[in-house]
Amino acid sequence: MPVPRALAWGTALLVAAKCLLLMGVELGKDEAAYWYWARYHLDASYAFVMLAVIRLADVLWAGNDMALRLPFIVAGAGSAWLMNAACEKTDLTTTDRLAAVLAFVTCHWAWHTGSFLHPDGVLVPLWLATLAAADRAWRSQQDHHWLLTGILGGLVALSKYTGCVLMAGLLLALTLRGRQGFRGLLWTGIPCAIVASPLIWALWGLDFHLPFTLGSLSQVAASDPVWWRAGLFLLAPLLYLSPPLLWLLYSGLYRGWQERREQGVDLVLIPALVLLATFGVFALVNGQVKGNWVLPGLLGIWPLAFHGLHQRRFHRIWWAGLLVLGIGMTAVPALTLRWPTLAQQLVDSAPAAVDATYPAIVSPTDLPREPTFSWTERVCEYHGWADFGQDLSQRLQHDMGRADRVHSAEYGLGYGLGRYLPDAPRVTITDDARFAHIADASLGDASIYVTRSGGAIPSAALARQPRQIDTMVRQAPGCGPVGYDVYLLSGHAASADNTTESR
């Protein structure tokens, strides 16, 4: 079967499999936050392209979770085509190209970000398209190709803060070429800056507070020695990639360094090194370690990593390892998110301590904001919200008719109720600066405060004289019951703790 036809069939099967596995899976905590942000406060201060896609999908088919995720599924399929084109351009053999594309689509990172609402879901295809445009521009030396590279690069910067680092690396690569790369630098940098300017404008209006609020995100090694932080930084991608795939990608970096003076290699190598260096500093200085932060930078060297794989000794073992481990690491979260009962069965068959390792990947600062203490609880965060919203709405009718606003210190809980309560209330997340500018805390309306049972009530809610009206339970097949305390808030919403001054 010709490669394009095989890729078309494979893409169709990939999309169908994702749709089947996502049926019945509600929005997770990050997805609910992104949805709320896109619906009520669409701005360019963070992941604007992703939020715009979510907003458009929500307008076209409101209330449907699959409709929100469908653009990301399609984008994930498009990424596979772009990766295949990158491998073909690098003159990989058909066998090595097949291995590279299969390793890409079956790795947990590409599967997840190409299925759920995630900034990488739009960053990955846009960055692959940008690299393809840059390579074409360099080979042709035509201004309109550099112009396209700059426009795509501006969208990359609007996709995630990581995209700004990647584009800085690409522009640095052109700068290091001196006079040879000046024209490309000019025709790429100017349109990139123009397209990405809404990001700077939005952050200026927020006094640039939002990037700094991410300083505690994944700060899991703040108290560990530097050598331990370095080791964690290098191995953290193993949560998203199989060991042989990560080894190949690091080998691809080494190969890229050896071939850095060959045509076009620096355009993919330097952005990768800049991204690794940036997050390496965060890891070494601040103890922030998260594997998927560095993976977009490795996309460009992906073809280099698989070059000549069929000539290696025991290459068939490499192929089997890449495919079996990749599918296995992807299948476990994909299947358990669809059927939480399976997650419980897997946990029951493993040592008890395994399930309790989840807090190890969450910083101590962020863990109280979303009290999830095990992998099975993390899986169950995607289930039971619609029924819980209906039950809570019926209970509130006896005390206040409806809730116009939900307050919570736990963003997954607050935005989850914002999504699944029938009355579609506004949401205020307390004591979390990441969401301060979308809190609408100055509005006074019928409000409730919701926390996981036993959770502390912050001072902002205490000032509203909270009165507990019930303890509600969220549960779903395969998931244990989770209790939530519901408080009725009186008076006006004092917001000193939750607003952010703007210029």
Closest CA to 26 of 477, 460, 393, 498: 477
CA 399 to chain centre: 39
Instruction: Please report the DSSP string for 236-263 in residue order.
Output: GGGGTS-HHHHHHHHHHHHHHHHTTTST
* pLDDT on residue 455: 85
For the chain, what are the domain ranges? 1-118+308-336, 127-208, 380-489
- The pairing of strands 447-452 and 405-408 is parallel
**How far, in Å, CA of 331 to CA of 23, rounded?**
15
pTM for the full predicted model: 0.93
Residues in the chain with pLDDT values less than 50: 493-503
Query: Would you state the pLDDT for residue 500?
Result: 35
Q: Are 366 and 146 in contact (CB under 8 A)?
A: no
Q: State the pLDDT at residue 158.
A: 97
338-358 pLDDT, tens per residue?
A: 999 999 888 888 877 788 888
Alpha helices in 177-301 (DSSP H): 179-205, 209-213, 226-235, 243-258, 265-281, 295-298
Q: What is the pLDDT of residue 499?
A: 39
Q: Which residue has the tokens 């790369």?
A: 181
**Predicted local distance difference test score (pLDDT) of residue 442:** 57
**pLDDT tens per residue across span 420-476:** 999 889 999 988 888 988 887 655 678 899 999 988 888 878 888 889 999 999 999
Report pLDDT for 446.
Answer: 80
Smallest CA-to-CA distance from 428 within 444, 420, 440, 419 is with 440
Cα–Cα distance measured from residue 369 to residue 412, given in angstroms and rounded to the nearest whole number: 9
Question: Who's near 220: CB < 8 A, 6+ residues apart?
Answer: 232, 287, 288, 289, 360, 361, 362, 363
CA-based nearest residue to 156, from 139, 135, 170, 137: 170
Sheet order of strands, 482-489 included: 426-429, 405-408, 447-452, 482-489, 467-474
Between CA 232 and CA 18, with CA 331 as vertex, the angle to 5 degrees is 115
